[in-house]
Structure 1
Amino acid sequence: MTRDYSKFSLGGAPAPRPALSPLQALGWQPFFSAQIDADDMQAHPPVRVTAVHRSGLAVRGDGIEAVLPPDAEVTVGDWLLYDAERPGASRLLDRKSLIQRRAAGHEVRQQLIAANIETAFIVTSCNADFNVARLERYLALAFEAGIDPVILLTKADMAEDVADYVDQATAISDRVPVVALDARGDAPRKKLAPWTKPGRTVAFLGSSGVGKSTLTNALAGGDLIETQGIREDDAKGRHTTTHRELHVIAGGPVVLDTPGMREIQLSDAADGIAAVFADIEALTTRCRFRDCAHETEPGCAVKAAIEAGDLDPDRLTRWRKLAAEELHNSESIAERRAREKGFARHVKRVVNEKPNRR
């Protein structure tokens, strides 16, 4: 039997991994290359959207840096096939994942947050910013998008009882790792190493002032992003980051830094909510009645769990609220889409029926 020595090097040290190509360093994967052939890739090289501005889309590729015309259907993290002659015609590739929410304010529409993220770090601080209900919303966004979430508890060095914050965060879902750390220094690179390998794409999501930009700087080993402190009286942060942007860390991951989102309205996220509240969803299947409202019905497994001390009634309240909000928002957006489609059909019919003018 011939022994394979390719995995060994002089001195017994493992052979170094081959360097990533420029596209791989930007997060390019077989999922995307499977969507195109070699000729198409040669004629229209892939570029990734690194930032979205009102004036256009900033993109990067292998030896390419350009600004494309604005496009409401494209978001940060998307991959496009770059058309140098007609930049606005650059084709959007299918996404591996998409984070979206109902747009803030009264406008009824979906807002695209980021695409093709592999790990979402949900960041909160061990202070007045910590809020279980907000964490559940972020986790629902991540689960709905098919992204692996990790809860990061920052400012752990300043908290009197870090274990209490860890316990509260861990209780939300047994599918979500919880990491407590100081966002400064070497701790982020060491503790987040399992999720921040070269070529992977990760995102820091959370309120302003929790350390998202500081974490990005720590992974980069320098000051990529300007940071500011928080107000000590209420732990509220200042908006250092003003737009979503991808940062390519040399020898590390692609990092999405985001502004703090004051409002997280969920829509089209029923599966994500079910994943966060998997314990309650499991209990509902054991109720005597299929349409049990978990209030006064006999044989309700949810009420029995509360009476036995196995389910926190506050968690049930948050589940009800989030599920009702998601249903309302999803129906509102669906109605708007139907109305727009109906209007488009009406316009098309009027145009087709209009007599030709000479």
Structure 2
Amino acid sequence: MRTDRSPTCSGKPDHVLLSPDLGPPLTRLTDTAALDRLGFDTFFAEQVGPDESHLLVRRISSVHRDRVDAIDGSGPADLELAPNANTADYAVGDWVLADPHTRLMVRRLERRTVFQRRAEGVIGHQLAAANVDTLFVVTSCNADFNPARLERYLIMANEAGTRPVIVLTKADMVDDAETYAAQASALQRDLSVVIVNARSPDAIDPLMPWCGPGQTVALVGSSGVGKSTLVNTLSGPGAGEPQKTGTIREQDAKGRHTTTARSLHAIAGGGWVIDTPGIRTLYVSDVTDGIDTLFAEITELAPHCKFRDCSHSHEKGCAVQGAIKGGTLDPDRLDRWRQLQAENRDRTPVFTGPKGNKMLRKKKY
């Protein structure tokens, strides 16, 4: 279940500083102004039953191997997990309810969106971020720019239910940034692409339509493209310890991992940003809906094919091939669709074996 939230840049609420000296956290459901600033809206409020109205509301701000950190409307907030809890079950951005006396987590609320990925040979998904309204896919105007990799990020954003936006950094280092923007825009219908200089104080301006009060954005991309620099710019001065930034190897634009954990930061003009570590390998697995959205022009043509199981390669009456012959569909797009569909099919695991003793195997076709 998901409801869309339109971006907004109107209004500037009091800035929420995450400092350790703000006193005891007491955010309850009645503290509507504080919860609004954190992004808690009716989607989450409607999940809280009448018998839970006394509980404290917390948002997870970072996840570690043995603990999770949380915030409320005042700043850092105490949150205890049950002794048998697994921190891997929680994502930065999750909303949870806690006991007002013990600060023990009672339960996690249903997520509006969840950004996750599957690692090779791993059962289940690795959680990256939850309840993200907009995913900023960050890449730079240099050798890092890779349309095929950007497609994979877009697929995962589509699958998660978040709104993807391509953010091009290091535009000040090239003369043809608009060429990069045109290539990025062609990857998906109605895709927003913005060009920024992450180190400039004005970098936040073109991003503000998605960074308004109560909005949550997340940044993904390779190491060295300027994600941490952009987080520091969005957070503004006085927002606590800045994210570490690193350099890149100019010959291949490869960067060092400077962010090692996911974390939630306040945006200077309202809203929240989640930084994530750079992802070296991004597999396509169990993301059929995400691929369908990326290649919407093919998805929409397929029902008009003469045969229901049309492969879009040689059949008579194929609407997709008809569009290629008519010049309204790029044949390269069909090739990319086939490749990603095949990878998704081959890498999406199925489970066999008796209950409690599941084994992974690849699908056979």
Amino acid at match of 2:174: A
For residue 183 of structure 1, report the CA deviation from its aligned partner: 1.2
Does structure 2 retain, via aligned residues, the 8 Å contact 1:239–1:260? Answer: yes
List per-residue Cα deviations over 1:208-253 (Å, max 9, x = no partner).
1111111111112237211112110001111110011111234421
Task: For residue 137 of structure 1, give the secondary structure of its aligned residue in structure 2.
Answer: helix
Corresponding residue for residue 34 of structure 2: 22
- Distance (Å, rounded) in 2 between the aligned partners of 1:190 and 1:142: 23
1:341 matched to 2:355? The reply is yes
1:279 matched to 2:288? The reply is no
For residue 113 of structure 1, report the CA deviation from its aligned partner: 1.4
The answer to which of 276-285 and 263-272 deviates more is: 263-272
- Distance (Å, rounded) in 1 between the aligned partners of 2:107 and 2:263: 21
Task: Compute the RMSD of aligned alpha carbons.
Answer: 2.4
Does structure 2 retain, via aligned residues, the 8 Å contact 1:25–1:248? Answer: no
**What runs of 5+ residues in structure 2 fail to find an aligned partner?**
1-9, 15-31, 359-365
Matches within 5 A, 1:1-358: 19=14, 21-37=33-49, 40-42=52-54, 44-63=55-74, 65-69=77-81, 70-83=86-99, 89-102=105-118, 104-222=119-237, 224-330=242-348, 332=349, 334-335=350-351, 339=353, 341-343=355-357
For residue 30 of structure 1, report the CA deviation from its aligned partner: 1.9
For residue 17 of structure 1, report the CA deviation from its aligned partner: 6.4
For residue 173 of structure 1, report the CA deviation from its aligned partner: 1.5
TM-score by length of 2: 0.81
Corresponding residue for residue 353 of structure 1: none
- Distance (Å, rounded) in 2 between the aligned partners of 1:251 and 1:58: 23
For residue 131 of structure 1, report the CA deviation from its aligned partner: 1.2
The answer to which of 298-307 and 168-177 deviates more is: 298-307
List per-residue Cα deviations over 1:246-292 (Å, max 9, x = no partner).
11234421100011111222333211110110011123223222211
- Distance (Å, rounded) in 2 between the aligned partners of 1:218 and 1:193: 12
- Distance (Å, rounded) in 2 between the aligned partners of 1:21 and 1:340: 50
List per-residue Cα deviations over 1:300-355 (Å, max 9, x = no partner).
2323333444333332222112122223333x1x41xx6473549xxxxxxxxxxx
Larger Rg: 1
- Distance (Å, rounded) in 2 between the aligned partners of 1:151 and 1:16: 25
Q: How many residues of Structure 1 are paired with residues of Structure 2 in the alignment?
A: 324
Does structure 2 retain, via aligned residues, the 8 Å contact 1:82–1:91? Answer: yes
- Distance (Å, rounded) in 1 between the aligned partners of 2:51 and 2:267: 30
- Distance (Å, rounded) in 1 between the aligned partners of 2:132 and 2:224: 22
- Distance (Å, rounded) in 1 between the aligned partners of 2:11 and 2:233: 24
Task: For residue 78 of structure 2, give the secondary structure of its aligned residue in structure 1.
Answer: strand
Greater per-residue helix proportion: 1
List per-residue Cα deviations over 1:93-152 (Å, max 9, x = no partner).
0111111111x2322321111110001111111111111111111111111121111111
Work out the percentage of aligned pairs sharing the same amino acid: 48
- Distance (Å, rounded) in 2 between the aligned partners of 1:305 and 1:217: 46
**What runs of 5+ residues in structure 1 fail to find an aligned partner?**
1-14, 345-358
TM-score by length of 1: 0.83
The answer to which of 160-169 and 76-85 deviates more is: 76-85
Amino acid at match of 1:213: S
Amino acid at match of 2:197: D
For residue 16 of structure 1, report the CA deviation from its aligned partner: 7.0
- Distance (Å, rounded) in 1 between the aligned partners of 2:247 and 2:53: 45
For residue 37 of structure 1, report the CA deviation from its aligned partner: 4.4
Structure number with the bigger relative contact order (C-alpha 8 A, sep ≥ 6) is: 2
For residue 158 of structure 1, report the CA deviation from its aligned partner: 1.2
Does structure 2 retain, via aligned residues, the 8 Å contact 1:48–1:61? Answer: yes
Q: Return closer, same or farther for 1:281/1:256 CA change in 2, 3 Å cut-off.
A: same
Corresponding residue for residue 26 of structure 2: none
- Distance (Å, rounded) in 1 between the aligned partners of 2:234 and 2:292: 33
Q: Return closer, same or farther for 1:309/1:205 CA change in 2, 3 Å cut-off.
A: same
- Distance (Å, rounded) in 2 between the aligned partners of 1:21 and 1:51: 23
Does structure 1 retain, via aligned residues, the 8 Å contact 2:236–2:268? Answer: no
Does structure 2 retain, via aligned residues, the 8 Å contact 1:217–1:224? Answer: yes
